[in-house]
Amino acid sequence: MPYLGAIALDAQRHRRFTDYPLEWAEFCRGFLGPEAYDTAKQLAHSTVKFTKSDKADMLEHFKSELKRMEDLRKDGVTGFIRLNSFDGHPALRGLWLPDGVPNGVEGVC
């Protein structure tokens, strides 16, 4: 599932949205949909503290995800590979969109 915290843009669009933050907000609302946008906005204004144990769990999860993706590439899989979310901490739940990403866009990771 795509991550709510990252949208890949080219340099021109990045510059445009930096200079025109209201356009950025409108783009995100249209791209994510109103509910996901509101969730992302709420998360952007929240603070989360992680214990060393939480961080170790996340590190192990994402190391295993990297290995899985590398193995898929070695097996000849091409194109977009979804990153499996880490939901092992309550603060991280809800950061991932359901599979139906608006307009089928895969540029969010």
Residue 95's beta-bridge partner residues?
A: none
The domains of the chain are located at: 11-104
- Reported pTM: 0.52
Contacts of 86 (CB under 8 A, 6+ apart): 57, 58, 61, 62, 92
Rg (CA), the chain: 16
Whether 14 shows a pLDDT value over 60: the answer reads: yes
Q: Check residue 93 and report its DSSP letter.
A: T
pLDDT tens digits along 24-66: 999 988 888 888 888 788 877 878 788 899 899 989 998 999 9
Pull the structure tokens for residue 109: 């990771």
CB of 101 closer than 8 Å to CB of 32: no
